Structure formats: C-alpha cells, structure tokens
Structure 1
Amino acid sequence: MNGVFSLLAGAALALTLVPASADEVDVSKYPQSQVRIVVTSSAGASADALTRTVARELGKIWGKDPIVENVAGSNGNIGLEQIAQGKPDGLSIVVGGDKVPLNAIFFGPELKSDLIKDLSTVTKAVSNPQILVVRPSLGVKNLDEYLKLAREKNGTLTVGTPSNGGAHHIGHELLGQLTGTKYTFIPYKGGAPAVTDLLGGHIDAVIITLAAVTEHVRAGRLVPIGVSTAKRSAALPDVPTFQEQGIKDFNIETWQGFFVSAKTPRPLVEKINRDFVAALNAPEVKGFLEGQGFAVVASTAAEGDAAVRSDFENYSRVIKAANIKLD
C-alpha cells in the first residue's frame, strides 16, 4: 500500500512540475523583478532619448523603474544579440527598428542569431519620415525637375548619405531604380556632416530624417523635393510626397521599436505591448516625442513583426539590385 501511495505522490509531484503552457502564463504580476532595456547606441542618440522618455512612464505603470543600459558596438548587433539569445521572460528588452532587418541582411552570416526569427517585436514605437532636400543653387523645385536634372547629369549628381547602407541610402537607390536615374553617393558618418556639406554647396542633395532639416527648409536654406512616406508630414505640410508626384511604389521610413526574445510567451508579449502603448500615448510622452520630430505609432506586436518582415523583403531587393555593401 505504501508503494502505491509513493507512486501516486510521485505522479502528483511530476504533474506540478510540468511547466504552464503559453496560454496559462500569469501576466498580471509582470514585472515581478526589474526590467532591463538595452539601447544599441551611445547616450544622447535618438534611440537613447526615446528609450529614456518611455522608461520614465513605464516606471509609473509598473511601480518600479526599468534600467536603461547602453550597449553600443558592432552596429548595434551586440545589444540585439544579447536579447535574441537571452531569457524569454520579458525582463530583457532591446530598442531596435529598421536596424533589425538591415543588420540581418548585411551581417546575417556573421551573427550567432537570426535577428528576424530570434526577436519578436513588442511595438513599432515611432517612425521618422525621410525627405529629399537639395541646395537652392541647384535650381530645381520639385521631383520632376530633380529627375530631369539627374538624367542630364547622367550619374554625376552628388547625393550625401548619412550612412552607407542605411535607410536613407536605400531610399535614394530605390528612387533611382524606379525612375531609371543614377547618382554618385557620398557616405558620411552621420546626418549632421552631410547636411553641413549640403548647406555649404559641396554636394547636391540628401535624403535624411525630416526632423534633421526642418528648420533649414523653413528658413529657405534648403529646398524640399519630396517626403518619403505615404502621407505628408505635419511638420512640413506643404511638401508633397513622392507618391503624390508620381512614384507610386515609394514608401521609405526609418523607425524605432522595442523587441524581446522570440521565445517569450505570446500572452506576455501582448502584456508588455499594452504597457508600452500606454506609455507612448501618455500626453506628456507623446507631446515630447512629436516635438522632437518623431511620429508616434505605438503599434500592436503583430504589426511590428509585419513591419520587420516587409522591410527585410523590400530592402533585400533594393540592396541586391544596387549591389550595396558596407565599408
């Protein structure tokens, strides 16, 4: 009889040790300990400002402040891989965005992780429209005139890119592929030096994050040619989009969002998403971010994952066709 009871007790114990399925995860107690949010750039960068702004609001929602840690290096891959390979408990989060599909394309064979498969999007947090601007002395006022000049120059029109292989570079390559025009690309280490050279008349044009040149456009120091997204920007509502000017398939934006390990149970991802969306839509947070030139998206987790897949496919085609390689 004692043997029977021992067997029953052992079976009961074994049942209690079976882990709960994803559907049974108790998300109501999240976070049970401190959350760490990794920023893959140095302090002071736009991703850092975004993360610290959202983190302060998350501290109010969670009753405990998350730790924000800057893990720069290897084009952001060190921080991204830390989370991709980390525990799927939702306590380690990384800020990423269009950098995730781009890094998967450019660095895929060198990485220990498949960034597309090993990261899940919590939310596509903010987006940044791109804008094509030219020096006033170039003598063009709209996209038709710009493309006509590009054809006349036959590849000698000089275009500054804030980074080689970034969304800005890819955006102008896509414009060339869709319109049959060619350009000479001049890579810079960031947007500021590219804009400085454009203002100085050393290059002809730049596609760059709209917020970086808004004041120059308003002051007439640079001429806006077109906005890269499907809708006009509220910051420069008089500037038409590329689509409005006849380039129907043109839609390029940079964006930033938050990611966790892809093995994180879906109910937990959804809980974290709700908290991030609430933080992003808090009036003080949203007002600050929009004042910095961000467009607050605060997407669902599924919409964020779809954005990653779409960018990966679209960027892969452009990069392959243009044979873009990182220096």
Structure 2
Amino acid sequence: MMNIPPLSRLTSRRHWIGLACAALCAAGSPLAFAQDYPNKPVKLVVPYPPGGPTDIVARAVAQKLQERLGQPFVIDNKPGAGANLGAEAVARSAPDGYTLVVATTAHAINPALFAKLNYSLTKDFAPISQLTGGPLVIVASPALPANNVAELIALAKSKSGGLNYGSSGNGQSTHLSAELFSAMAGIKMNHVPYKGSAPALTDVMGGQVDLMFDTMLSSMPHVKGGKLKALAVTSAQRSAVAPDLPTVAESGLPGYEAIAWNGLLAPAGTPREVIARLSTELKAVLESPDIRQRFDAQGFGAAWSAPAAYGAFLQAEVDKWARVVKTSGAKID
C-alpha cells in the first residue's frame, strides 16, 4: 500500500521548493549580479607605464571606487604597442565587470593610424564614462621669435622648410594635435617623435626642436620655471590652471579644438546593470570636491558622462582623428 504524505506536508514541500527556485533564479539574474557587484577585486588596466598622466588619473579614481564599493580596485600597468597591448587584453577578458581599461585619446586615433588592430574600440568595448578631459598647451623655447599663435603661423610660413615640432610618439595626441593645427593653418611643420614627453621637452628647451603640443601636467612646471614659454591651449575654453593663456581658436585659428582625455571601458557584453552601477559610482567620484580640485590642479578636469553619451563621444573622436590621420599621412604598420 502506498504511503501518501499528508496534503499539508506536500504543500509545505512545494512551498520550500518554490522559494528555493526563486532564490536561484534571482541569484542568476543580472539585477542580483549587479547588486552583488563587486564581490572580489576589480582590475583596472592602464596601457601606459606608472607615473604618467593616465596612471595618475587611474590611481586616484581606483582609490575612490575602492572606498565606495568596499573591494580593491587594482592598477595593472600594461604598456606597449601604442597603448594597444592593454586595450587588447581587456577586449579579450571575461565581460563580468572585473577587468576594465582606462582609455585615452590614443585609442581613438589608433584605428586610423595602425594598419591592423586586434580589437575594435567601438565594437569590443562597453563605454562606462569619460573620466577627464583637458587641453594640451603649445610650448616653445623662450628664444623662438613667436609669442602667440598668429606669430607662430607667420613664422612657419616664412621659414624655409617649416618649423620642427616634437611629440611623445607617433600617433599620440601630442603628434596629431600638431598635425590638425598645421592643416587648419595651412603651414608646414616637421614631426620629430620621441619616446615620451620628457625627452621631447628637453630638446624644446634646448632649441633642438622649435615647439611641442604637450600636456599641461608635464609642461607647465617648465613654463613657470622660465625654461619654456606657452603660446596657447588647445581646448575650446581657457584652462583654470592658466586662465590668462588664450585658446588657439581665439588667438588666430578659429574652430580649432583638441583635448586629451581618459575614460573607462569594459569588455563588450558586460551586463548593463554592472555598467550602470559603475557609472553611478563614477559620477559620485568625479563630482567629489577633492577629486575635482586634484584634477584641476594637474590641468585635466573631471568629466563624468553617461555610458551612451560617452559612446557617442568615442565615435565622434574616432571619426575626427581618422580625418587628421588621413590628412597627415601618418601610418604605423
């Protein structure tokens, strides 16, 4: 004879099975995943060596995210191949929000500059937010007979063979910003690439090259020390770091604008809820007074943006720099 459990026991058993299933389903849902995120350390890949502007931004942001989210945000410096090495590594990482990359202007330039890339900036990543944005500054030796943009353009037109300008490397913003300037001004300038800003600035100070478009972080201390003179900033508005320094656009080249920026990307396919969580936290971080003051003092302002807005910004940057690369003829195999 079958032993049939009482109805109350069956009901109770079904109740607990139902609760268990619901819990399992909730645990596996994107919303629950986002609420639980992060539950282990998060790696921020910086595709540059330690100590540079991108590394400085990444470490400041990582510290604040760690304080807010209660998990370590670990910096992993992975330089090489024009910042492509670190970006490629993250593009191939698991799309779970635990491996992110700090992108820069170079990543928008590289699709047009490199003959072949093993990743797509606009297809292999999910945009989270811009982090910073700031101008470059045109600096020259104090001996250069030009004290503003109009005089610089006139000098370049009058000098046989054109002026020579240094950069921190082929395809960097310090290179292509000068090429954009040359194209818009209708002048010739000869590119002299260096391995980083420091040796390039040394040669500008020594008069081996005429000028450089460089970050304010690395060049303004030399301007304040009298070893360089600053002609203009490359942003659409003046910089709070040097409010008396005019923009390129207002001092002889209307419409010119070039900024250096950092942003945060995750691998494509990362859950939208995780992207939203990171975006929300970054908004709080980048709007905090101490971060804003710290970044402003270094010449790059905090610049939070929603994921969709940052994605649109990336596409616009890719399109813009593709035109500049084509005009300049720059190429890296």
Q: TM-score, normalised by structure 2?
A: 0.86
Report how far residue 108 of structure 1 moved.
5.9
Counterpart in the other structure of 2:103: 96
Counterpart in the other structure of 1:70: 77
How do residues 250-265 of structure 1 correspond to structure 2 at under 5 angstroms? Answer: 250-265=256-271
> Cα deviations across residues 123-166 of structure 1 (Å, max 9, x unaligned)?
11012311112222222111111111111114331111121221
Of residues 224, 227, 233 in structure 2, which corresponds to 1:221?
227
Counterpart in the other structure of 1:299: 305
Report how far residue 17 of structure 1 moved.
9.4
Higher radius of gyration, 1 or 2: 2
Aligned partners of 1:162 and 1:194 also within 8 Å: yes
> Cα deviations across residues 201-234 of structure 1 (Å, max 9, x unaligned)?
2221111112222133234432222110000011
Aligned partners of 1:101 and 1:312 also within 8 Å: yes
Q: Distance in 1 between matches of 2:80 and 2:212?
A: 26
How do residues 15-164 of structure 1 correspond to structure 2 at under 5 angstroms? Answer: 26-107=33-114, 109-111=116-118, 113-164=119-170
Q: TM-score, normalised by structure 1?
A: 0.87
Report how far residue 15 of structure 1 moved.
11
For the pair 1:267 / 2:255, whether they are aligned, the reply is no
Counterpart in the other structure of 1:286: 292
Counterpart in the other structure of 1:10: none
Q: Distance in 1 between matches of 2:44 and 2:36?
A: 19
Report how far residue 307 of structure 1 moved.
2.1
SS in 1 for 2:277: helix
Q: 1:137 to 1:305 in 2, by over 3 A?
A: same
Counterpart in the other structure of 1:236: 242
Q: 1:21 to 1:263 in 2, by over 3 A?
A: farther
Aligned partners of 1:154 and 1:182 also within 8 Å: no
Report how far residue 25 of structure 1 moved.
6.1
Aligned partners of 1:38 and 1:70 also within 8 Å: yes
User: Identity rate of aligned residues, in percent?
Assistant: 31
Of residues 176, 186, 198 in structure 1, which corresponds to 2:204?
198
How many positions carry a matched residue from both structures? Answer: 314
Q: Distance in 2 between matches of 1:127 and 1:248?
A: 20
Q: Distance in 2 between matches of 1:243 and 1:301?
A: 29
SS in 1 for 2:132: strand
| Structure 2: gaps (5+ residues) | 1-19
SS in 1 for 2:51: coil
Aligned partners of 1:198 and 1:205 also within 8 Å: yes
Q: Distance in 2 between matches of 1:248 and 1:290?
A: 25
Of residues 311, 319, 329 in structure 2, which corresponds to 1:313?
319
| Structure 1: gaps (5+ residues) | 1-12
Aligned partners of 2:292 and 2:302 also within 8 Å: yes
Aligned partners of 1:155 and 1:181 also within 8 Å: no
